[in-house]
C-alpha cells in the first residue's frame, strides 16, 4: 500500500495519513509528539512525514534563549516516531498495543540548525526488518537541505506493566 497526499492534504492514492491516524498509531502526545503529517508511505520500504516547527515548541524556551534551535536529539526522536509508523503499518501492529522502542542510535550527524518557522521533512526507510527488531536509516531536511542523518535500531515489544 502506498499513501500519498498533495500539499493541500487531499489524497492522490489513498486516504490521507493525517494527525488523527498518527494519534491512533503512536502513543506519544504533547509535548513529545513530533510528527504532524505523513506525506507518503510505502509499506515495507519507506515513509516521508513532516513536522511543523513553531516558536511555540516547549523546548525553544531554553534551547537557546535569543537563538532558538531544535535540539538534535529531538530531530532523531521525530525520525524514530516516523519509523514507528512505518513499522506499525508494515508489521500490521495497529491496535495490538505493541510499542516500538529504541535499541541503538548509530552514525548520527547534525548538518544544519533547525529554527522555528520551518517544515522539517522526515524520511525514513528500512535497512533490515524482522518481526521483533528493525534497523532504519533516517534523514531530516528543510527544503532539501539535510539537517540530520542517522541509523538506528528499534525493538517491537509489549508496553511495560504498570
**For the residues 47-69, what does the mean pLDDT come to?**
95
**For the residues 95-111, what does the mean pLDDT come to?**
94
Q: What is the CA radius of gyration of the chain?
A: 15
Residue 11 clears pLDDT 80, i.e. is over it: no
Classified as helix, coil or strand, 38 is: strand
For the chain, the structural domain boundaries read 2-157
**For the residues 61-77, what does the mean pLDDT come to?**
95
**Mean pLDDT computed over every residue of the chain:** 90
Classified as helix, coil or strand, 78 is: helix
Q: Any catalytic annotation for residue 48?
A: no
> With bands split at pLDDT 50, 70 and 90, how would you rate the model's confidence at 7?
very low
Residue 10 clears pLDDT 60, i.e. is over it: no
> With bands split at pLDDT 50, 70 and 90, how would you rate the model's confidence at 16?
low
Query: Residues 28, 63, 98, 135: which is the catalytic one?
Result: 63
Is residue 31 within 8 A of residue 58, CB to CB? The reply is yes
Return all residues near 135 (Cβ < 8 A) that are at least 6 apart: 126, 127, 128, 129, 151, 152, 153, 154
Classified as helix, coil or strand, 67 is: coil
Torsion of CA 143, 150, 25, 162, to 10 degrees: -140
Residue 35 clears pLDDT 80, i.e. is over it: yes
**Homologous superfamily (CATH) for 2-157:** Hotdog Thioesterase (3.10.129.10)
Amino acid at each position: 500500500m502506498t499513501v500519498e497526499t498533495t500539499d493541500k492534504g487531499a489524497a492522490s492514492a489513498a486516504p490521507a495519513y493525517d494527525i488523527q491516524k498518527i494519534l491512533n498509531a503512536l502513543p506519544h502526545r504533547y509535548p513529545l509528539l513530533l510528527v504532524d503529517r505523513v506525506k507518503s508511505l510505502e509499506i515495507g520500504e519507506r515513509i516521508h512525514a513532516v513536522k511543523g516547527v513553531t516558536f511555540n515548541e516547549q523546548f525553544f524556551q531554553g534551547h537557546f534563549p535569543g537563538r532558538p534551535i531544535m535540539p538534535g536529539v529531538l530531530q532523531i526522536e521525530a525520525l524514530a516516531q516516523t519509523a514507528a509508523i512505518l513499522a506499525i503499518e508494515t508489521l500490521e501492529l495497529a491496535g495490538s498495543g505493541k510499542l516500538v522502542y529504541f535499541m541503538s542510535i548509530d552514525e548520527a550527524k547534525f548538518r544544519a540548525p533547525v529554527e522555528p518557522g520551518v517544515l522539517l521533512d522526515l524520511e525514513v526507510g528500512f535497512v533490515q526488518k524482522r518481526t521483533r527488531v528493525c534497523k532504519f536509516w533516517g534523514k531530516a531536511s528543510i527544503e532539501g537541505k539535510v539537517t540530520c542523518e542517522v541509523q538506528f535500531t528499534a525493538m517491537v515489544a509489549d508496553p511495560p506493566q504498570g
